[in-house]
């Protein structure tokens, strides 16, 4: 069945892949973005498709529109961007999500909220199941994002209990792939861009902190399947449960690019989580969540994207 779908943050990294997949499945897609971290080039190939519309709008302002599915992906995801205007980040998660829940209430649309592994903060439980309540510093430099996303989850569940809004909440773990912004400071894009330019690879801290990196196609399949799933609101973890140290990631990027770059260590940012790995049992049980792209394969595709991008900008 095809839907009239709103994708907020649709010109961003994950949002643009989601718009593509939704169009492929025969839906009408309205992509909404304020272009804070999103780029027109991410969706340029979709413009002209009669089933694709683009709206420049900021979700902190209400919007009146008729849809039956909402994917709320709008929010800067990289620490560099979300910390550049922390009050705005909080507004995007709290006021923005409230506006979209209001839209879902009026239209009866199902709303999927893109939450994050950051709700677990610097976790004392490893790997992290959805039942873990997290360890977040509410006054630190990551709080605008972490607490904003936590409050957004609260709003989803209160709109669900009070007004019967049909919600799906996903907690996304570190995702990477083509169309990440080269300058947004996330570890995979930073390391690849540095390696391709032959610049020093900047490991923050000693590189023993871990992350679990998910290739964007696997995440988008999980998002699509959970949105279709009946009978569970989430929250459900989505990501990849292969765990790597940041040092291992740097070495893998150097190997796959054949770069001469050196690894250098820089100070670890405040409140940087020491380890992170999703417990994916619930996603496997509910939607038969499967991973198809091992790190090496996903990195190769992402390296290729950044290679082509640097040629097209040269
Ligand atoms: P991104 O920065 O590439 O995309 C976010 C998009 O939202 C951008 O296009 C940006 O312009 C838009 N946006 C930001 N504030 C907005 C506002 N107020 N109004 C309208 N549009 C706005 O980031 P991404 O990696 O694609 O992340 C997408 C979503 O997934 C975010 O909600 C993020 O918190 C979540 N998430 C991502 C990851 C990850 O590893 N990539 C991990 C956990 C959660
Ligand atoms: N990181 C790093 N070098 C960089 C960018 C990031 O060592 O150039 C580290 C960062 O300190 C963190 C990990 O890589 O420990 C993942 O960082 P990212 O910003 O991608 O995501 P998050 O910290 O939000 O998981």
Kindly state the tokens that stand for 297. Answer: 């394969």
How does pLDDT run across 153-168, given as a tens digit for each residue?
Answer: 999 999 999 999 999 9
Per-residue confidence at 114, pLDDT binned at 50, 70, 90?
very high
What residues make up the domain containing 102?
4-176+214-241+276-292
State mean pLDDT over 112-140: 96
State if residue 152 touches ligand 1 by the CB under 6 angstroms criterion: no
Closest ligand 2 atom number to CA of residue 207: 7
Q: How confident is the model at residue 220 (pLDDT cuts 50, 70, 90)?
A: very high
Q: Is position 250 within any domain?
A: no
Q: How far apart are CA 178 and CA 103, in angstroms?
A: 31
How many other C-beta atoms lie within 10 A of the C-beta of residue 226? Answer: 20
Residue 25 CA to ligand 1 center (angstroms) comes to: 22
The percentage of residues in the chain with a pLDDT greater than 90, rounded to a whole number, is 96
- Tell me if 204 is assigned to some domain: no
Say how many Å lie between the CA of residue 184 and the centre of ligand 2.
Answer: 11
Cα 73 to ligand 1 centre (Å): 5
B/e letters for 168-188, b = 16+ CB within 10 Å, e = fewer, are: bbbbbbbbbbbbbbbebebbb
Q: Looking at the annotation, which residues are catalytic?
A: 145
What total of structural domains would you count in the chain?
Answer: 1
> Is position 191 within any domain?
no
Q: What is the CATH number of the domain that holds 286?
A: 3.40.50.720
Domain for residue 252, yes or no?
Answer: no
Contact between 43 and 54 under an 8 Å Cβ cutoff? The reply is: yes
Q: Does 131 map to a domain?
A: yes
pLDDT in tens, 4-15: 999 999 999 999
Residue 311 forms part of a structural domain: no
**Mode of pairing for the β-strands spanning 4-8 and 28-33:** parallel
pLDDT of residue 313: 72
Q: Which of 9, 78, 235 to mutate to test the pocket of ligand 1 (most atoms within 8 A of CB)?
A: 9
Please choose from 122, 210, 246 the residue to mutate so as to test ligand 2's pocket, defined by most ligand atoms within 8 A of CB.
246
Cα–Cα distances (Å) from 45 to 10, 68, 81, 183, in that order, read 13, 24, 25, 22
pLDDT at residue 311 above 90? no
Q: Is the pLDDT of residue 314 over 70?
A: no
Q: What's the 157 CA to ligand 2 centre distance in angstroms? A: 30
Q: How far is CA 213 from the centre of its chain?
A: 11
- Measuring from atom 12 of ligand 1, which residue has the nearest CA? 9
**Residue 153, both tokens:** 């989850």
| Residue 255 maps to a domain | no
Pocket residues: Cβ below 6 A from ligand 2: 78-79, 174, 185-187, 190, 202-204, 209, 211, 246, 269, 272
Question: Would you place residue 312 in the very low, low, confident or very high pLDDT band (cuts 50, 70, 90)?
Answer: confident
Instruction: Name the DSSP class of 268.
Output: P
Q: How far is CA 188 from CA 73, 129, 201, 250, in A?
A: 20, 24, 11, 9
pTM above 0.85, yes or no: yes
CA–centroid distance, 59 to ligand 2, in Å, is 27
The tens digit of pLDDT for each residue in 43-86 reads 999 999 999 999 999 999 999 999 999 999 999 999 999 999 99
Residue 304 lies in a domain: no
């Amino acid at each position: 069945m095809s839907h009239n779908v709103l994708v907020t943050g649709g010109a961003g990294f994950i949002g643009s892949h989601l718009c593509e997949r939704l169009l492929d499945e025969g839906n009408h897609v309205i992509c909404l973005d304020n272009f804070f971290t999103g780029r027109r080039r991410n969706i340029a190939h979709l413009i002209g498709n009669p089933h694709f519309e683009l709206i420049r709008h900021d979700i902190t302002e209400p919007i009146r529109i008729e849809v039956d599915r909402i994917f709320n992906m709008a929010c800067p995801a990289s620490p560099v961007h979300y910390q550049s205007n922390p009050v705005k980040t909080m507004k995007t998660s709290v006021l923005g999500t409230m506006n979209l829940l209001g839209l879902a209430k009026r239209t009866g649309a199902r709303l999927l909220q893109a939450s994050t592994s950051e709700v677990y903060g610097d976790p004392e439980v490893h790997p992290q199941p959805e039942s873990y309540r997290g360890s977040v510093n509410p006054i630190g430099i990551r709080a605008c994002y972490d607490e904003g996303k936590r409050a957004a989850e609260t709003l989803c569940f209160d709109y669900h209990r009070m007004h019967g809004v049909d919600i799906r909440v996903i907690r996304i773990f570190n995702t990477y792939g083509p169309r990440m912004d080269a300058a947004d400071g996330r570890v995979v894009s930073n390391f690849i861009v540095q390696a391709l330019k032959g610049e020093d690879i900047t490991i923050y801290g000693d590189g023993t902190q871990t992350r679990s990196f998910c290739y964007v196609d696997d995440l988008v399949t999980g998002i699509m399947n959970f949105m279709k799933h009946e009978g569970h609101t989430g929250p459900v973890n989505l990501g990849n449960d292969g765990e790597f140290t940041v040092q291992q990631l740097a070495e893998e990027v150097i190997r796959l690019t054949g770069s001469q770059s050196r690894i250098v260590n820089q100070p670890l940012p405040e409140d940087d989580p020491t380890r992170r790995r999703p417990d994916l049992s619930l996603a496997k049980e509910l939607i038969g969540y499967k991973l198809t792209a091992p790190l090496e394969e996903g990195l190769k595709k992402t390296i290729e994207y950044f290679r082509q991008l640097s040629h097209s900008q040269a």
